[in-house]
Structure 1
Amino acid sequence: MDAAPTPLAPPPLLSLEDQGHLRLLSIFHYVVAGLMALFALFPLLYIGIGLGIVNGWFPANQQAAGANSDLMVGWMFVGMGALFLVVCLTMTSLMVLAGRSLAQRRRYTLCLVVAALSCLFTPFGTVLGVFTLVVLLK
């Protein structure tokens, strides 16, 4: 017949100091996510410039070869800006999810990966990532 599932082991008890550290890390993840969201708006400038080049809003060379290269440069601006925007917004979303997970004391692996990735966002992300790694690997 069916065996009863084994109950999960209770989560380890955290000291008051560890609970305080996780609470602060959760708050700082939200703050850094806000800064990342602000910086994620910069690629919109590149997308706007690229669309301006493609649509002819900026004066360009009237030569046939120049018009083709201007069109290609415009689409490169749009493509790179869109790619950077998607990457930044994805990282911002992951940072918010990690902050929520730290507050709930869940998704340990996700928090570790986001902490490592946040080290790329200097200087705030580096500091937050290092502190998060130190606390989680304790």
Structure 2
Amino acid sequence: MALLEWTDKMSVGIDTIDADHKKLLSLVNELHSVVRKKESPDTVGRVLRDLMAYADYHFEAEEQLLRLIRYPDLDRHKEIHGKLKDQVAALEERYRDDPKKGSVRMFDFLSDWLMRHILGEDMKYKALLLEKLGKNAQK
């Protein structure tokens, strides 16, 4: 799978959330890099932990923002975030059992999930976000 690249169509209109998304893309790309270079399982594990720690930070910030604008689908959005954590834990376990196969699966899954989530789920709140925050949306 190709490296992930930020495009303007991924913007939700809030600089901090867009910056988080860019950082998440970068961390998924870093995972791809260490897997491609056949780095040690410890290195791959560290990158995955860094990615998930940042994802936790981002999910909390995003969910707070969605609470602020009274996003009607917040519970579902939080559930999707929670499911990702469970899926990554399962992928990490598979990786420990078979690093060669597990690492490719991890990157493919995370790349696909992140792109679908930003372009699909996150775009669902964009209009409400811009409506509620208006010109302040870029802060």
Answer 1 or 2: higher relative contact order, Cα 8 Å, separation at least 6: 2
Whichever structure has more helix as a proportion of its residues is 2
Q: Scaled by the length of structure 2, what TM-score is found? A: 0.33
Q: Scaled by the length of structure 1, what TM-score is found? A: 0.33
Larger Rg: 1
